[in-house]
Structure 1
C-alpha cells in the first residue's frame, strides 16, 4: 500500500508543475483559502491528460486554455494522498507565503520601529532627526532592515545619536571604537564596511549639519570629526609652512619650524591632544605640495603662512583651518584650474569664506598661453561665482592648468610687498 508520504511525490512530475504553480499563487493570494479557478494556457498533452484525470472530464486536444475549479484539484489531491493541497505544496516546497499576512506583519514591525524612533528625546528636540526618521521610512531602509532581521541596527543608531547629543559641550573628543563600545558593546560596530549601522548614523549626522553624505573615507572621517569623533588620528595630517601658534608642545614646534622656514606635517592626533591657537590675519592655502616645497626652498622663513590641501583636504586640514577662521583669520586659496580644483575652491569659499587668490580669468588665460601641457578639462563643469567669466573662459579654452605650472607667479606675489607684509605679521608671533 502506498502511503501519503510516497503518494504526494507523483505531483513533482512535469505535467503537474504549472498547475501546482497556479494553485500556489491562488492560495497565497487568498490567504490559504481554496476558492476560485485556475487555468493553463496552451497545455501540453501530458498536462491535458493530467487535468482530465483530476476532473474526470474530457478536454479536446485543440483547446487553447483549460480552467478548473481549485476545489476540484484539492479534492483530487486528498483522494490520492490523504493530504490537503496546501500540505502537498509545502512538502514539495517552498512554504506558502500569504501576502496579506506578510504585509500586516511588515506594517506592524514598521510601526514598532517608528514608535521607538519617535520615543527618543531627539525627536522632540531636532528637526533633522525627524527628517532622518521620515526618510528611513519612505525610502525603504526600515523595510530592508526588517526583511534582513537587522532591526537592532536601527536601535543602535538611535543610541549612538543620543550619546553624541548628550555629551557635554566641553567633553574631549572620543575615538570611534570607544563610541561604538559605549553604544553597542562592539568596538568595531561603527567601522567602515561593517554593514548598515555606520551609514545609518552618518546619514543622520549629515542631515544635522545640513550637508549631503559624501562617499569616500576622508569625507566620512571629516563628518565624524565635526562631532568630535575621531576615526584615525594618526593617518590624517596636514602640511604647513611658517604657521606659528601658541600652545604647549605643538604650538612650540610650529613656532620653531616657522623660525627656520621648515615645512611641518601636523597630525590630527597632535591637534586633538595638544590644542593650539593660531592668531594670524591671513593664511595662504595651496593645493599642491610642490608649491609649498618651492616656497620653503626659495623663501624660507620669509614666506607667508601657508597650508597645503594636498589634493583632497584631510580631517586634520579642516580642523586646523577652522581654528584659523574662528580666530578671525582669512584664508586665501589657490588651486588647479580644472573642474575638481574649482569645486574645491567653491567648497572652501562656502565653508570658510576663503578668498580665491590668483584665480581670475586673466590669471587663467595668462597661464594657458604659457602652459605647454595642453591637458584637456574633464569632469563636470563648475560655476565660478567670484568671477563668472572664469568658468566661461575655461569652457571655451577646454584646457586645465595645474598649480605647479604657475608656481613662479605665486612665489612672485609672496616676494612682493603684499607677501612681505604677511611674512612680517607672522613673524610678530614668533616671539610670543
Structure 2
C-alpha cells in the first residue's frame, strides 16, 4: 500500500499507528467496522474495487469440461484429423477468458464444418444460412480463422496466410466454386428417373463407358436415383477404369471421389443415400487415404469396403518397397488400422488391390 492507502486503512479501523505497506487483517474486524458504518460487506466492497472473485478450482474444472466436450464432439470424433485442431484451439486458450463465449464460438465453428462442403454457395450466403450472420466468415474474423484452421487440418495443408490462400481453401470446401467445372466421375449408372441426365447416364452405362456429371446438373431436378442399389465408391479413377475394362456393361454403379471428394461427389452420394442406396467406400491405405475415408463416411454415411486392418495386412503380404504412408490419423471405423500403418510404415495404393475389389464387384 502507498501512504494514502495506509492512512485510509488506519482511519477506517481506528488504528493507533499506520499499518505497514503489507499487512494482514482480520476479516471479522473489517466486517464489524463496515457494518457500523452501514456499508456493504467486505466481499462486496472488495469486488467493487478489484473486480469479482474467482474460484480457481471451479474455473479449471469448467475449462477441462469445455475441452473434453470439444474433443468428444461428434464432428471431431467422426474425423480424427480434427483432434490436432482441437488441441491447437485448446492451447490458444479461451476467448476473452470466458468459457461460455468460447463454447458459443466453437459451436458455430463445428456447425460450419458439419455443413461443408457447400454446393458452390457464396461465402456470405453460406454464413447467413449456418450461423445467421452473413459476415461471420469474412476475412480474418475469429470464426473464419477457426474454421479455416480446421479445414487445413482436414486437408493436411498449412493454415492460409493471406486472402488468396483463404479463398483457395474455401473453394476447396465448395464455397463459391464453379458449378460447371466441379464434377464427379461415375460408371454403371442406370437411374430409375427420367430427364436428360438420367438418359445420358443410362446411355453411357449401356455402352460400358464412364460418365462425368457436373454439380450444375446435379442441382437440377430430377435427381438421378438408383433405388436400393449398392453403390461402390473408389478414391482413384484407375480402379474405376479397371472395372470398366473387366466388367464392361455389367459394371455395377460406381462413383469415384478422385481424391478428396468435392461438392459434386458429396451432392451425388447424398442424393443416392436419401433415395435408399447402400454406399460402400474403398481408398488408399495411407495417412491421406484414412482422412479422406473418414471425411466421406461422416458426410454421406458410407460403409467401409475392404478397409479393415485385416485387409491392410493382407495387402502387405508379399509386397515390397512400398512408400511411406505419411502423417497418420485415426480410422473411426477400425481402431487398430492407424496403429498397423504406424507399425509397418507402408502405404498400399488402391490400385494394388484392384483384383480383390474386382472380385467383389463381379460377385455382387
User: TM-score normalised by the shorter chain: which range applies?
Assistant: 0.5 to 0.7
Q: Structure 2 length normalisation: TM-score?
A: 0.55
Indicate the residue corresponding to 1:401 in structure 2: 348
Unaligned runs of 5+ in 2: 1-92, 98-118, 127-134, 153-158, 160-165
Unaligned runs of 5+ in 1: 1-134, 140-172, 181-189, 191-195, 419-432
Are positions 1:389 and 2:330 aligned together?
no
Q: Quick check: which has more Rg, 1 or 2?
A: 1
Q: Residue 218 of structure 2 contacts residue 264 of structure 2 at CA under 8 Å; is this kept in 1?
A: yes
Equivalent residue of 2:295, what SS?
A: helix
CA RMSD of aligned residues (A): 3.6
What pairs up with 1:229-244 in 2 under 5 angstroms?
230-244=176-190
Indicate the residue corresponding to 2:210 in structure 1: 263
Deviation at 1:206, TM superposition (A): 6.1
Deviations 1:318-352 (A, max 9, x none): 11111011222221000000011011111122222
Deviation at 1:235, TM superposition (A): 1.5
Q: Residue 174 of structure 2 contacts residue 263 of structure 2 at CA under 8 Å; is this kept in 1?
A: no
State which of 335, 358, 361 in structure 2 corresponds to 1:411.
358
Deviation at 1:386, TM superposition (A): 2.2
Are positions 1:371 and 2:319 aligned together?
yes
Deviations 1:212-270 (A, max 9, x none): 45567676247556xxxx53111210100012222311111112222222100111121
Deviation at 1:200, TM superposition (A): 4.8
Indicate the residue corresponding to 1:344 in structure 2: 292
Deviation at 1:175, TM superposition (A): 6.6
Question: Matches of 1:199 and 1:276 in 2, distance apart?
Answer: 37
Are positions 1:335 and 2:276 aligned together?
no
Equivalent residue of 2:231, what SS?
A: strand
State which of 196, 203, 223 in structure 1 corresponds to 2:144.
203
What pairs up with 1:279-318 in 2 under 5 angstroms?
279-318=227-266
Q: Structure 1 length normalisation: TM-score?
A: 0.47
Equivalent residue of 1:258, what SS?
A: helix
Are positions 1:323 and 2:264 aligned together?
no
Distance 1:265 1:353, change over 3 A: same
Equivalent residue of 1:333, what SS?
A: strand
Q: Residue 285 of structure 1 contacts residue 306 of structure 1 at CA under 8 Å; is this kept in 2?
A: yes
Q: Residue 206 of structure 1 contacts residue 223 of structure 1 at CA under 8 Å; is this kept in 2?
A: no
Deviations 1:38-83 (A, max 9, x none): xxxxxxxxxxxxxxxxxxxxxxxxxxxxxxxxxxxxxxxxxxxxxx
